[in-house]
Amino acid sequence: MPLLQISEPGESPDPHQRRLAVGIDLGTTHSLVATVRSSTAECLPDAQGRVLLPSIVRYGADGGVEVGYGAQAKAADDPANTIASVKRFMGRGVADVAKYGALPYRFVDAPGMVGIETAAGLRSPVQVSAEILKALRARAEESLGGDLFGAVVTVPAYFDDAQRQATKDAARIAGLNVLRLLNEPTAAAIAYGLDNASEGTFAIFDLGGGTFDLSILKLTRGVFEVLSTSGDSALGGDDFDQAIAMHWRVAHGLVDASGRDTRRLLAAARGVKERLSTEESADALVTLTWGQQLHLKLTRAEFEDITAPLIQKTLGPTRKALRDAGLKVAQIDGVVLVGGATRMPHLQRAVEAFFQREPLRNLDPEQVVALGAAIQANALAGNRAPGDDWLLLDVIPLSLGLETMGGLVEKVIPRNSTIPVARAQEFTTFKDGQTAMAIHVVQGERELVSDCRSLARFELRGIPPMVAGAARIAVTFQVDADGLLSVSAREKTTGIGASVVVKPSYGLTDDEVAAMLRDGFDHAQADRDARALAEQRVEAEGLLAAIRGALAQDGDILSAAEREALDAGLASLEAARQGTDHRALKSAVEALNRASESFAARRMDRSVSRALAGRRVDEVPTK
């Protein structure tokens, strides 16, 4: 691992010393990886020059894993072990995936998230996604010629907490340092906004392979502010294929087709759908497992007729997003189409009719999300060019709340709150002498707990016995810049606390992720240690540079004793960095982080104070 070189604070890094950062669009049907090179974002192609990687993973009985086109080619012959559209299963239980109809996989009702039984054993959707991410990481490292500093991974804006957490876990298992989870329509807006230096209010209409998002953003002098977001995390181009396949099955009496036949019909449906974007009619020949040949036909008019309900399904969320943003159609300055499914002419007509303006499509709708993610990754990695100080303010898509008596939801953070956001709510006991309280965290807009998604359950114990209603339990929700929730609870009269990072109900526990990480590296212990050491060294170097830079800028706010303590922390981290014990290095990093907490807080306070003082001085002459 080459040592990273850091420039003086305030100086932009030399182009040769940039940190390698990528944006990854982990899509339902295709995935892409992009990076910024010579101040231009570009998607990285594979050896054959293809930028799209089919999001398909095949598990062989020999333990081999194939990702992308190779897996796609075998999908029809080995459907049970060839997992496509795994994004639909992320953070989802058996009951959720049943809604997708007949799928050729052997689902297992694993606790929390569904599992898939493959020739190589039981796999979580998180592990399947990690295989796709590993393939993209390998592509990027080969193309860029070095280890990645970090990645921005995109998620549908309408993904809930469980789906986001699952995506972040997948990236960790793939060995990626996740700089940020970024909402797909927001990523597209960055690519568009910075490309065209746009100002105004934009609607991003993003219909991908399996998800639909509609985000409304305001662009003002380099600030991308998401006003509202809405969507359907189970609606996408795949549903149009399913509708065509269903139409053919009914027409040809193939009510209970096998897994292989389902796959063949779907593949034919996809081909026909794509051709109907430019042709008036299309056909396909499909040979069924028992040898029967079918000549399947569809006209564009038929296609538009059978999929009209799907098009209609996009308009409800669109209206809701406008309403949440407090805007009328006439106040939208531009509409951007994102996602491969927006190539369908009848969809474009519907969007144009709704917004009464022609949508923008000048950037490739399949690449634009990855490009935007790459731009954000480049900025987060510290590679910003001077003056390149745009800022992104995003929101949470779904309200977060708690279960109260009677199975009702008390909302704590409403949807479309700008992140990061924290909110506390007080609750009390129901019975005299109650000493424990079950806290059930849910996400969704409905009033009944049973209609919302359960995110986590935990218990606050040790509440001193009091009469009903006397205890004061403050439950605090904190959503970070990735849109991920953590919850803590505290009984205020006694200070008894409990806290969780929300994961258990529909995610994986930290232990499970750690186990998957171990499985992911079939190397010897020595290799794993070498990798851990390399990662910790990067972390240590970053921290050393950050703290030295901070001391150079604001060292004067520290007392002599405080300065001495920080210098000692720097010295011992510097010493640990020369060694080869990754555990010792990790604890030195943690120690320095702890030692610098008060310094970090005071530095930020000074920065804000200076800004406020500056503004008051500026304002005086104008008054």
Catalytic residue ranges? 25, 87, 184, 206
Rounded distance, CA 234 to CA 396, Å?
A: 18
For residue 57, how many C-alpha atoms fall within 13 Å in the half-sphere facing its CB? 28
Near another protein by CB under 8 A, which window of 130-138, 231-239, 381-389, 399-407? 381-389
Residues 7-46, one symbol each (x = binds another protein by CB under 8 A, - = not), give ------------x---------------------------
Task: Confirm or reject binding of residue 604 to another protein (CB under 8 A).
Answer: yes
Site for another protein in 149-188 (CB under 8 A): 149-150, 179-180
Least Å from the CB of residue 510 to another protein: 17
Least Å from the CB of residue 376 to another protein: 8
Task: Confirm or reject binding of residue 497 to another protein (CB under 8 A).
Answer: no
Beta strands in 252-363 (DSSP E): 281-287, 293-299, 334-338
Least Å from the CB of residue 80 to another protein: 37
- Determine which residue in the list 80, 223, 474, 501 makes contact with another protein, applying CB under 8 A: 223
Task: Confirm or reject binding of residue 243 to another protein (CB under 8 A).
Answer: no
- Determine which residue in the list 65, 80, 246, 315 makes contact with another protein, applying CB under 8 A: 315
Least Å from the CB of residue 379 to another protein: 7
Rounded distance, CA 361 to CA 350, Å?
A: 15
Helix (H) or strand (E) holding 613: helix 597-619
Q: For residues 121 and 316, which CB has a smaller minimum distance to another protein in the complex?
A: 316
Q: Which residues contact 406 (CB under 8 A, 6 or more apart)?
A: none
Task: Confirm or reject binding of residue 418 to another protein (CB under 8 A).
Answer: yes
Task: Confirm or reject binding of residue 220 to another protein (CB under 8 A).
Answer: yes
Q: How far is CA 596 from the centre of its chain?
A: 30
Task: Confirm or reject binding of residue 571 to another protein (CB under 8 A).
Answer: no
Task: Confirm or reject binding of residue 480 to another protein (CB under 8 A).
Answer: yes
How many residues touch another protein under the rule CB under 8 A: the total is 56
Rounded distance, CA 176 to CA 346, Å?
A: 39
Rounded distance, CA 42 to CA 6, Å?
A: 25
- Determine which residue in the list 28, 399, 443, 478 makes contact with another protein, applying CB under 8 A: 478
Least Å from the CB of residue 323 to another protein: 6
Read off the tokens for 598.
Answer: 């008060």
DSSP string, 284-313: EEEE-TTS-EEEEEEEHHHHHHHHHHHHHH
CB 57 within 8 A of CB 131: yes
- Determine which residue in the list 288, 481, 496, 584 makes contact with another protein, applying CB under 8 A: 481
Beta strands in 88-207 (DSSP E): 106-108, 115-118, 121-123, 150-155, 178-183, 200-207
Task: Confirm or reject binding of residue 492 to another protein (CB under 8 A).
Answer: no
3-state secondary structure of 529: helix
How many CB atoms sit inside 10 A of residue 280's CB?
Answer: 9
Least Å from the CB of residue 24 to another protein: 16
Q: For residues 527 and 605, which CB has a smaller minimum distance to another protein in the complex?
A: 605
3-state secondary structure of 321: helix
What is the DSSP secondary structure assignment for residue 214, as one 8-state letter? E
Rounded distance, CA 463 to CA 473, Å?
A: 9
Task: Confirm or reject binding of residue 485 to another protein (CB under 8 A).
Answer: no
Least Å from the CB of residue 502 to another protein: 16
Task: Confirm or reject binding of residue 393 to another protein (CB under 8 A).
Answer: yes
- Determine which residue in the list 90, 369, 419, 588 makes contact with another protein, applying CB under 8 A: 419
Site for another protein in 508-547 (CB under 8 A): 542-543, 546-547
Which residue do the tokens 């746009």 mark? 198
HEC secondary structure over 442-466: EECCCCEHHHCEEEEEEEECCCCCC
What is the DSSP secondary structure assignment for residue 431, as one 8-state letter? S
Least Å from the CB of residue 598 to another protein: 6
Rounded distance, CA 601 to CA 231, Å?
A: 38
Binding residues vs another protein (CB under 8 A): 19, 149-150, 179-180, 220-221, 223, 309, 312, 315-316, 319, 323, 376, 379-382, 389, 391-393, 417-422, 478, 480-481, 542-543, 546-547, 550, 592-594, 596-605, 607-608, 611-612, 615-616
